[in-house]
Structure 1
Amino acid sequence: MIFCYIDESGTRDIPGNTSHYVLAGLSIPVSKWKQCEMEVQRVKAKYYLNDTEIHTGWMLWPILEQSKIEDFETLDQATRKYEVEKYRKSELLRLQTAKTQKQYHKTKKNYRHTRDDIHLTLDERKQFVLEIAKLIGSWSFCRLFAECVDKTHFKPAIAKLSVDEQAFEH
């Protein structure tokens, strides 16, 4: 039996707010799943990300608040987290005006998606992603696959499938 993790990027809507829809998957034999999980957990623990889901796109995004905190890189991780959370609270309070509601909600969403990573510098987050990628790349028994649909050239009438169905079929 094979365990398969599938995730997508982009929207299935045409035109939607993305030009591409990507469906990616990782298949692992069930007999190896526990081993893989333990190896990933070891890397996550090294970066104090034990109970977090890995969102590579958000992890590789610069956290601008960190650049506004003096000597951020030299602080211990608990202080880093405290300082970023303090800055974020003040920024959300500042944005809570009628004129900035759209910016307030966008900022709040960005903060929510990066909440688990604020104790790591951008270089540390890059290193974490690289370690996870190398780890998965070392698993000769697993398969990584993906399908990318360029929605600017996708013709639903010809395909007779939705974008996500087309990607899944391929």
Structure 2
Amino acid sequence: MAELITTVEPALLKRLVELEQEAFGCGGMNEWHLVPLMRHGRVFVSKQNDSVVGAVQYMRDWDKPELAYMVGVSVATAARGQGIGTELLAESIQQLFADNFTEVELTVAADNAAAVKVYREKLGFEVTGFRQNEYGQGQDRLVMMLIRERFIGTLKKK
């Protein structure tokens, strides 16, 4: 179940940084990134036995306020392959749409076939663009978009 984080707690912050480093190494977020997202964006977590095993962060797009941009998602290595990330994303997106967002956008490495498959087939995202060198030389990303109506249709198929 996706739990919205509304307060900054040191132990939770430490755990979120650990998840980020486990998933992305030096490219993962640290306290300086996560605290503003917790206070001014949306951060959702998934727990198993009271331990945080997954997290996803969103921010609002200033030029298109009905758009939530997914900053990142991470799942603990030991919890991968169990559907936790997909469930966390689906539930957090449902909450965003309930809060009057109409679109969710993300970028993903073009060669991350597993993630692209989950975004497309399980959640209803569509590829809408390509950004070359998004995070530096050779760090290309696909842009994927999900609109509320498509997401609702994807959920009804299940």
TM-score normalised over the length of structure 1: 0.22
Structure showing the higher helix proportion among its residues? 1
Q: Larger Cα Rg: Structure 1 or Structure 2?
A: 1
Structure showing the higher strand proportion among its residues? 2
Higher relative contact order (CA 8 A, sep 6+): 1
